[in-house]
C-alpha cells in the first residue's frame, strides 16, 4: 500500500534518516514519523503505544473541539558529542503538564506515565535527534475526548495523551535579529489565574492582538502589560538586564512559569547577577530601556534579544538596539548545559543512553 503524501510543507521524516540534518524546516513543521499515546477511559490509562504518526480520529462532538479542554508541553531532547541523548529538565515539564491538566479539570496523567512515555519515544527515535545546535522538540498534548456537546460545564471523563516529536534547528543560526515588541497596556494575554496554564485558549485569545501589532506597527510580538504591569509575550517570558541585575515579573499565576526562565535565573544568580523578581510597570521599563538589555525566554528560541519597544506611537531602543553581550553570554551558558558541552551541575539532564 502506498501511504498518502503529507500535506504540502510538512515533511514526514522518519528515523531512518541520518541525524546529521543541517538544514531544518521552519520550527514545528517537520515531524518524526512516530508518536506515542495513551488514552484514558473508564478511569484508567492504557499502556502507551508507539505508532505511525497518522491522523487522529475523534467524534466531531469531542469536548476539546468545543470547550477547549486541551493543554500541552514543549521540551527538547539533545544529542551529545558522544552521541548519547538526553532530555532537558524532564521532571519540571512533567510537573507543569500535570498542573495544566488539573487547572482544566482534565484527567491528570500520573507523573510516571508522562515520564516513561517521553523516555520511550526519545529512545525509539534516538537516531532522529539532530546534532546540536539542533534538537528534538517534544510536544506532549492532552485533550478531552468525550462526545457530548452538553458538557460545556462538565469535565471530559475520557482523554487522550500523545507526544509528537519534531526535529528543530537553531533559531540563532540565521543571525537572529533583535525583536520589536509592541508594549500593550490595554489587553490581557490570559486571565490572572490561567496565565500559568499552557492551554490553547490563551494563544487563541492573544492572537488577534499580535496580528494587529504586526500589521499596524510591524512589531514581532506583543508584550502584554495589562494595567501597566509588565508580564510576557504570547509565548515567551520577558527579562530586563540592567547592570548586574535581572528584572522580571514574579510567578503569580498570570504568566507561564517558564522553565527556560527558571534555568536562566539560576545560572545568572550563580554568576553574580542579582535577581530582582518583582512587579514593575511600563513607565519603569521605558525609563530603563536605553541603559538595559531585554530578552524573551522560552524552550524554542532559548533567549531572544529585544531591540526595540513600541509604545504610544514612539519607538524606544533597548541598549544600542543590537544583541547585547550579557544576553549572548547567558544564552551561551544555558546552551552549553542543554547541549551537554558543559557539566550538568544542576542535574537538569536526563540521560537516556
Ligand X SMILES: *Cc1c(COP(=O)(O)O)cnc(C)c1O
Residues that bind ligand X (CB under 6 A): 74, 198, 232, 235-237, 256, 258-261, 297-299
66 vs 151: CA distance, rounded Å: 9
Cβ nearer to ligand X, comparing 48 with 134: 134
294 vs 317: CA distance, rounded Å: 10
CB atoms within 10 A of CB 112: 9
Q: Nearest distance from residue 256's CB to ligand X, in Å?
A: 3
Say how many Å lie between the first and final Cα of the chain, rounded. Answer: 35
Cβ nearer to ligand X, comparing 184 with 232: 232
Q: Nearest distance from residue 154's CB to ligand X, in Å?
A: 26
Cβ nearer to ligand X, comparing 151 with 231: 231
213 vs 220: CA distance, rounded Å: 8
Q: Nearest distance from residue 297's CB to ligand X, in Å?
A: 6
- The burial class, CB within 10 Å (0-12 / 13-18 / 19+), for 72 is middle
83 vs 344: CA distance, rounded Å: 16
Cα separations in angstroms, 118 against 8, 56, 122, 323: 28, 19, 6, 34
Cβ nearer to ligand X, comparing 147 with 251: 251
Q: Nearest distance from residue 81's CB to ligand X, in Å?
A: 24
Rg (CA), the chain: 21
Q: Nearest distance from residue 100's CB to ligand X, in Å?
A: 10
Q: Nearest distance from residue 207's CB to ligand X, in Å?
A: 12
What is the secondary structure of 67-82 as a DSSP string?
Answer: H--EEE--EEEEE-TT
Are 167 and 136 a contacting pair, CB within 8 Å? yes
Cβ nearer to ligand X, comparing 33 with 303: 303
Q: Nearest distance from residue 260's CB to ligand X, in Å?
A: 3
Phi, psi of 228 (to 5 degrees): 95, -15
Cβ nearer to ligand X, comparing 32 with 236: 236
Are 85 and 255 a contacting pair, CB within 8 Å? no
Cβ nearer to ligand X, comparing 33 with 97: 97
311 vs 326: CA distance, rounded Å: 25
Amino acid at each position: 500500500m502506498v501511504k498518502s503524501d503529507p500535506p504540502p510543507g510538512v515533511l514526514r521524516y522518519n528515523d531512518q534518516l541520518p541525524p546529521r540534518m543541517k538544514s531544518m524546516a521552519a520550527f514545528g513543521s517537520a515531524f518524526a514519523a512516530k508518536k506515542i499515546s495513551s488514552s484514558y477511559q473508564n478511569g484508567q490509562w492504557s499502556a502507551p503505544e508507539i505508532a505511525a504518526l497518522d491522523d487522529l480520529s475523534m467524534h466531531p462532538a469531542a469536548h476539546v473541539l468545543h470547550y477547549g479542554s486541551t493543554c500541552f508541553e514543549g521540551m527538547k531532547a539533545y544529542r551529545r558529542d558522544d552521541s548519547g541523548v538526553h532530555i532537558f529538565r524532564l521532571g519540571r515539564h512533567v510537573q507543569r503538564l500535570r498542573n495544566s491538566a488539573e487547572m482544566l479539570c482534565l484527567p491528570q496523567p500520573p507523573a510516571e506515565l508522562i515520564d516513561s512515555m517521553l523516555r520511550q519515544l526519545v529512545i525509539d527515535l534516538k537516531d532522529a535527534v539532530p546534532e546540536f545546535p539542533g534538537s528534538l522538540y517534544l510536544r506532549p498534548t492532552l485533550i478531552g475526548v468525550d462526545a457530548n456537546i452538553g458538557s460545556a460545564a462538565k469535565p471530559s471523563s475520557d482523554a487522550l495523551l500523545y507526544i509528537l516529536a519534531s526535529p528543530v534547528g537553531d533559531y540563532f543560526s540565521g543571525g537572529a535579529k533583535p525583536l520589536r515588541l509592541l508594549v500593550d497596556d490595554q489587553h490581557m494575554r490570559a486571565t490572572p489565574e490561567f496565565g500559568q496554564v499552557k492551554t490553547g485558549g490563551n494563544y487563541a485569545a492573544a492572537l488577534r492582538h499580535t496580528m494587529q501589532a504586526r500589521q499596524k506597527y510591524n512589531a514581532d510580538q506583543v508584550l502584554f502589560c495589562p494595567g501597566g504591569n509588565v508580564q510576557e509575550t504570547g509565548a515567551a517570558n520577558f527579562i530586563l538586564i540592567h547592570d548586574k541585575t535581572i528584572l522580571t515579573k514574579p510567578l503569580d499565576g498570570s504568566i507561564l512559569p517558564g522553565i527556560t526562565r527558571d534555568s536562566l535565573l539560576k545560572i545568572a544568580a550563580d554568576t553574580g547577577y542579582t535577581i530582582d523578581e518583582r512587579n514593575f510597570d511600563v513607565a519603569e521599563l521605558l525609563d530603563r530601556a536605553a541603559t538595559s538589555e531585554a530578552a524573551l525566554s522560552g524552550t524554542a528560541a532559548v533567549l531572544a534579544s529585544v531591540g526595540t519597544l513600541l509604545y504610544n506611537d514612539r519607538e524606544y531602543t533597548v541598549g544600542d538596539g543590537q544583541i547585547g553581550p550579557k544576553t549572548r553570554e547567558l544564552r551561551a551558558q544555558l546552551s552549553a548545559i542543554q547541549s551537554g558541552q558543559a557539566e550538568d551541575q544542576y542535574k537538569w539532564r536526563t540521560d537516556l543512553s
